[in-house]
Structure 1
Amino acid sequence: MKHLLYAAAGLAALAFALTGAKAEDASWGCQVLLCAASQNPSWQGVPYCVPPMKRLIAAMAKPGFDWPICHQAKAGEPGRQEFEDCPAGARPTSSNDGNDNGLRRRNEEDQCVRIVDRCENRGEYNRLYGDEDANQRNGVTVRPISGNSDHFVNRDNRYNGCKVQVTSPRPRRANPWFFDIPNDKGVKERFWFNLRT
């Protein structure tokens, strides 16, 4: 709620300083920005916000959609990051191998990949990746890296090296959209939101 109050105060000061107008009189772009910045509750829990945000969602489905801008706030159009960051030590990668009949976005970095040394800490490796059924259920793949000079052979001789590449699905963000809204000192603060009704 604190973030909403700061955003609301900033927008109100910028947009209505000279006019004494009410929030309901704000431009559609400023209404969208103010509502998107609402964090606790999100815009869905603020009755004032539901009509302008539903209007936005409906407009986005039409050809030629242009995002409504709140020029007074200097925030511009929102950004979008569909996926959470990968865990430390992993990097994002795409699962798109070109054989998906165009169902996935090209180069969508929807997975995390990391190189793991399973010989270094076998207990930890087995705890995280040793259950093949769990790996399959969770979409985790473990692939030996060939050409490794370390020769570790586990009991069933499936792998002959210590280094493996572990690939796992990248979690999707609950709130993939964001506005970077500058405060009165010009420092931008990020406000995440979603467009689910």
Structure 2
Amino acid sequence: MRPLVILVATLIGTALGTPVGGAKAEDASWGCEVLLCAASKNPSWHGVAYCVPPMTRLIAAMKEPGFSWPICHEAKAGKPGRENYEDCPAGTTVGYSSRGDNGWRGEPDRCIKTADVCRSPIERNTNARQSGMTIGRRFGNGRDDCIQQVATPRPRRADPYFFDIPNDQGVKERFWFNLNH
């Protein structure tokens, strides 16, 4: 958090034409206030008294027609990104719980694991009764194999929004946040 505070203070000072030592958080543009508060981790913006008013203002503004995200141009971070779901575990792929007409797939809210669950007719019948859904069978090497896809809910992120903020070396660092009250 400290490098971000220094970066934002520097940017605020530059934008206001004041030296870094004279830059104050309360002099920041709304976009820079939001950026600084969103990047706060310990505590999150919820626990920083200075951050509650600009973030509450942001949450209210997002509900209005024509909302445009406030930008901190000095930080070169732009608008935030949003990823509602955590990554799927290794060995699984992203899947969708609903599909519609014309290729519409809904949200990527499932993790799918594909497994060869049976090797003989006896094993196949036992496994089919125990769990899951057999998606398809393939025939090869003289045996009847079963392919099963098991879908599990993809975990939701507690902090689905993020800013990618360049550090003093120009390398972007990702800061996750939420907009829950």
In the superposition, the TM-score normalised over structure 1's length comes to 0.76
Quick check: 1:181 aligned with 2:171?
A: no
| Paired position in structure 2 for 1:124 | none
8 Å CA contact 2:98–2:106 kept in 1: the answer is yes
Select the structure that is richer in strand: 2
| Paired position in structure 2 for 1:14 | 11
Q: For residues 68 and 89 of structure 1, what CA distance do their matches in structure 2 show?
A: 39
Residue 174 and residue 167 in structure 1: after superposition, are their counterparts in 2 closer, same or farther (change >3 A)? Answer: same
- Output aligned runs, 1:1-197, within 5 Å: 4-17=1-14, 18-19=17-18, 20-98=22-100, 107-119=106-118, 142-149=132-139, 161-197=145-181
Structure 1 window deviating more from structure 2 (9-18 vs 90-99): it is 90-99
Counting matched residue pairs gives: 163
Identity within the alignment, %:
59
Cα-Cα RMSD = 2.3
Where do 5+ consecutive residues of structure 2 fail to align? Answer: 120-128
Where do 5+ consecutive residues of structure 1 fail to align? Answer: 100-104, 121-129, 133-141, 151-159
Higher relative contact order (CA 8 A, sep 6+): 1
Letter in 1 for 2:179: L
Give 4+ residue runs of structure 1 displaced > 4 Å after superposition. none
Structure 1 window deviating more from structure 2 (105-114 vs 41-50): it is 105-114
8 Å CA contact 2:75–2:165 kept in 1: the answer is yes
In the superposition, the TM-score normalised over structure 2's length comes to 0.82
8 Å CA contact 1:112–1:168 kept in 2: the answer is yes
SS in 2 for 1:167: strand
